[in-house]
């Protein structure tokens, strides 16, 4: 239910009109078309966000994907954090899909244009990177060097790069969302092909190698791979979602052991979103127990009054909690966005007022406050 009313804290895009494939991915949620925003802060934020999004250029967003596929970019890429080119394009595709679902025709046209361009990149990757590129739709810098060696179990280049799977996860989510919110079948095909790429890439890796690789921030890879199973019904996607679940966190949380002190906060939250999604689709209670304990300790013991958590991007120990007063680098909205996704999942399983209370608190006090009115 939450996904329809307060769906995205990344883009503050809220649903108003057109029904889509969303109820196919989440069987207990109602169609987007059942929700209309009236005048108020949510509609104001959504409309202002659309104005901002439409100032960006799709070809500049797509430049990293064309470059890594061996194609000439049509326009120069936007400046970015050094080494993280490509991840913003995935976020942007999600934003276009959600706003297309509200009835924005320009966002729909942009979404469809991006998908057609990404198809060209996917086709070029098959041709230009035959050893590892089938199904690849990423804009990660130095993709050829990273993935050609990664597939062989050599993590040297991977470990020397800035969070490759964190980067790729954004496009996984963007393609999924283009199908979820708009029913775009080409996006669905690209998404499942990208999931197949992850299966093939990691097929030769041992469990120990997977665990070592997952020590680097990797976004919500386990969640999107589990969604591949929900979309297709093919168990291979659920199996690889389990392989992408970091056991260091999974085992501790499932045994009710809080090992979060000094851990990078937004590396952990998406993992747990994936734990609950795997439990939701498989019935595995150990994954739910981990997610349940994590939600309890983060919202109950590691969050501030407005719903945000962490300082300097990390969970502080009790002894270091004075940093919340003395340090200007406080809770990030990306953490809260992902906590809202986890809260939505917990509420789907067991609707309780405490989940709704937290969702409302964090949305109005942290997420909405991050946008200048």
pLDDT 10s digits, 96-125:
999 998 889 999 999 999 999 999 999 999
Clarify whether residues 162 and 267 are in a common domain.
no
Does 185 share its domain with 296?
no
**Band of residue 16 on the pLDDT scale cut at 50, 70, 90:** very low
Token pair listed for 5:
């009313």
Predicted local confidence at residue 4, as pLDDT: 40
**195 lies in the same domain as 298:** no
Confidence check: pLDDT of 291 > 90? yes
Same domain membership, residue 89 and residue 18? yes
Please return the burial class of 200, using the count of CB atoms within 10 Å of its CB with bins 0-12, 13-18 and 19+.
middle
Q: Assess if residue 219 is contained within a domain.
A: no
- The mean per-residue pLDDT over the stretch 294-304 comes to 97
User: What pLDDT, on a 0 to 100 scale, did the predictor assign at position 20?
Assistant: 46
**What pLDDT, on the 0 to 100 scale, is given for residue 21?**
55
Asked whether residue 323 is assigned to any structural domain, the reply reads yes
Number of domains, the chain:
2
- If asked whether residues 165 and 271 sit together in one domain, one would say no
Distance of CA 206 to CAs 144, 194, 201, 212, 218, Å? 22, 21, 12, 10, 18
Question: b/e map of 277-297 (b: 16 or more CB within 10 Å)?
Answer: bbbbbbebeebbbbbbbbbeb
What pLDDT, on a 0 to 100 scale, did the predictor assign at position 23? 66
- Domain assignment present for 330: yes
Q: Which domain holds residue 366?
A: 245-373
pLDDT digits (tens, 9 = 90+) for 62-103: 999 999 999 999 999 999 888 899 999 999 999 999 999 888
- For the ranges 5-14, 121-130, 146-155, 343-352, the lowest mean pLDDT is seen at 5-14
Taking residues 202-231, what's their average pLDDT? Answer: 98
CA distance 197 to 228: 12
Residues 267 and 337 in one domain: yes
Query: Is residue 283 a part of any domain in this protein?
Result: yes
User: Within this chain, do residues 47 and 178 fall inside the same structural domain, yes or no?
Assistant: yes
Q: How far are the Cα atoms of 49, 51, 142, 268, 287 from residue 43, in angstroms, in the given order? A: 10, 12, 40, 31, 36
Do the Cβ atoms of 33 and 40 come closer than 8 Å?
no
Looking at the domain assignment, is residue 120 inside a domain? yes
Among positive and negative, which fits the CA dihedral 11, 223, 146, 236?
negative
Same domain, 203 and 259: no
Examine residue 117 and state whether it is found in any structural domain, yes or no: yes
Same domain, 190 and 127: yes
Query: Does the pLDDT value for residue 3 go beyond 70?
Result: no
Q: Are residues 7 and 75 in the same domain?
A: yes
CA distance 203 to 311: 37
Q: What is the dihedral of CA 92, 98, 100, 101, to 10 degrees?
A: 170
Taking residues 47-58, what's their average pLDDT?
96
Asked if pLDDT for residue 10 goes beyond 70, the answer is: no
Domain boundary among 158, 191, 209: 209
Task: Indicate if 135 and 47 belong to the same structural domain.
Answer: yes
Tokens at 124, concatenated: 């070029």
Burial 67-80 (b: 16+ CB within 10 A, else e): bbbebeeeeebeee
| pLDDT at residue 2, rounded to an integer | 41
Residue 227 lies in a domain: no
In a domain, 279, yes or no: yes
Q: What is the pLDDT of residue 27?
A: 75
Residue 24 has pLDDT above 90, yes or no: no
Residues 284 and 193 in one domain: no
User: What average pLDDT does the chain have?
Assistant: 92
- The predicted pLDDT at position 25 comes to 85
User: pLDDT band at residue 14, thresholds of 50, 70 and 90?
Assistant: very low
Is the Cα torsion angle 268, 241, 171, 358 positive or negative in sign?
Answer: negative
């Amino acid at each position: 239910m939450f996904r329809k009313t307060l769906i995205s804290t990344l883009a503050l895009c809220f649903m108003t009109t057109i029904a889509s494939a969303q109820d196919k991915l989440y069987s207990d949620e109602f169609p987007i078309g059942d929700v209309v925003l009236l005048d108020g802060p949510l509609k104001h934020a959504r409309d202002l966000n659309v104005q901002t999004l439409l100032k960006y250029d799709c070809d500049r967003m797509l430049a990293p994907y064309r470059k890594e596929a061996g194609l000439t970019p049509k326009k120069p890429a936007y400046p970015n954090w050094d080494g993280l080119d490509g991840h913003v394009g995935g976020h942007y595709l999600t934003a276009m899909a959600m706003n297309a679902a509200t009835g924005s025709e320009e966002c729909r046209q942009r979404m469809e244009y991006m998908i057609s361009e990404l198809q060209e990149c996917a086709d070029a990757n098959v041709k230009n990177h035959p050893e590892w590129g089938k199904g690849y739709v990423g804009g990660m810098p130095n993709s050829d060097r990273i993935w050609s060696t990664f597939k062989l179990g050599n993590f040297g280049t991977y470990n020397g790069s800035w969070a490759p799977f964190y980067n790729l996860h954004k496009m996984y989510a963007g393609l999924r969302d283009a199908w979820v919110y708009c029913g775009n079948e080409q996006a669905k095909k690209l998404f499942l092909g990208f999931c197949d790429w992850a299966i093939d890439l990691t097929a030769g890796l041992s469990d120990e190698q997977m665990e070592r690789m997952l020590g680097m921030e990797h976004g919500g890879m386990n969640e999107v791979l589990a969604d591949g199973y929900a979309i297709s019904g093919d168990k291979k996607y659920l199996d690889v979602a389990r392989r992408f679940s970091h056991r260091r966190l999974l085992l501790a949380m499932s045994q009710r052991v809080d090992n979060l002190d000094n851990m990078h906060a937004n590396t952990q939250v998406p993992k747990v979103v994936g734990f609950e999604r795997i439990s939701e689709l498989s019935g595995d209670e150990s994954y739910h127990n981990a997610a349940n304990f994590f939600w309890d300790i983060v919202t109950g013991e590691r969050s501030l009054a407005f719903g945000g958590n962490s300082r300097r991007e990390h969970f502080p120990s009790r002894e270091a909690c004075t940093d919340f007063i003395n340090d200007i680098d406080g809770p990030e909205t990306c953490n809260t966005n992902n906590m809202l996704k986890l809260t939505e999942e917990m509420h789907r399983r067991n609707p309780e007022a405490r989940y709704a209370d937290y969702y409302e608190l964090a949305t109005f006090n942290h997420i909405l406050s991050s946008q200048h009115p």
